[in-house]
Structure 1
């Protein structure tokens, strides 16, 4: 697939919900830094942003990135350094968009739940948009028990949920798995 549209990925840790549906900021995990960065690198994503409102969590990410980009990790595993080169942090999505240089990017959110009243993209229709438009897009993934409805309503559109083959419609994937599946469906050969 030949993508024309600039495309970045963001992993939002706020505004998210917990198991009870309450508004929370989830913790950043080391696996999400590495594994999503590797998937983004494989599929040619312009930037991968880890978005969290607290400086302590963002400092954790920066320490991990420093270890692999300039520290001992850069000598130990050069492939990891390559995968992490386009990872950035931001306190919110607007700061990420500004850093990327595309403050007018259209935000497409992912969700295991269906939402009414928004532009809805199938994987095929969004793939076609990425192949034909020059408009920048930000593909946003949530953590915890998903992004809040209020946040998702502010986005340009929603990508269809991933549906597997379980008989009971089980869809609680790790975000790392969801990112990889989505990127492959949108950008894979």
Structure 2
């Protein structure tokens, strides 16, 4: 007899616009090959339904589609079938709104990840979000910013902000790569512990 394990419904969005630069100006950032592959692999490990790469520029989205084509149907699909599997959940979107419309979970909650928790409507501890996902069975769309993080307006439009990942004392260094941050957050809210 097999035991059914509930897997919470989750999507991840990697936001390249609107994000901030070091001078706090709103900019767009370039998509990197590493972010496509590494975040897709983390999403596959933790059962994330869809991983959206969000950028308003068609050229950047076309770059993602070329990479995906290589690994899904091109030579890469024969060379590394595991990579093909991991990239199956990747989608592109021109905006956060377009990604959310595609995922189509109107009763879900949208969570921003940021060190700027003062911009939040609500602050979630990892344990609180995990409870909402696993016990209350709420779908979650989790957004991760690039550059120096998402804009105040985007963060304020989300249902809430997840507590930031703290570094070891005494420095409490908080400038992880987005790939590392995604992996840590997914393990804390989706991991089987």
TM-score, with length taken from structure 2:
0.93
**Structure 2 residue matching 1:88: 3-state secondary structure:** strand
Q: CA RMSD in A?
A: 1.4
Q: 1:28 aligns with which of 20, 26, 31?
A: 31
Q: 2:51 aligns with which of 48, 52, 64?
A: 48
Shift of 1:171: 0.4
Shift in alpha-carbon separation, 1:155–1:74, aligned structure 2, 3 A = same
**Structure 2 residue matching 1:48: 3-state secondary structure:** strand
Q: 2:118 aligns with which of 95, 105, 115?
A: 115
Shift of 1:104: 4.5
**Structure 2 residue matching 1:99: 3-state secondary structure:** helix
Cα distance in 1, alignment partners of residues 39 and 98 from structure 2:
20
Stretches of structure 1 that go unaligned for 5 or more consecutive residues are none
Shift in alpha-carbon separation, 1:24–1:185, aligned structure 2, 3 A = same
2:179 aligned residue: 176
How many matched pairs? 188
Shift of 1:137: 1.5
1:156 aligned residue: 159
Q: 2:68 aligns with which of 40, 65, 68?
A: 65
Counting only pairs closer than 5 Å after superposition, residues 81-96 of structure 1 correspond to structure 2 as 81-96=84-99
- Matched-pair contact (CA < 8 Å) for 1:6–1:46: yes
Shift in alpha-carbon separation, 1:116–1:67, aligned structure 2, 3 A = closer
**Structure 1 residue matching 2:171: 3-state secondary structure:** coil
Structure 1 runs of 4+ with >6 Å offset:
none
Shift of 1:134: 3.3
Cα distance in 1, alignment partners of residues 119 and 30 from structure 2:
29
Stretches of structure 2 that go unaligned for 5 or more consecutive residues are none
Q: 1:16 aligns with which of 11, 16, 19?
A: 19
- Matched-pair contact (CA < 8 Å) for 1:7–1:137: yes
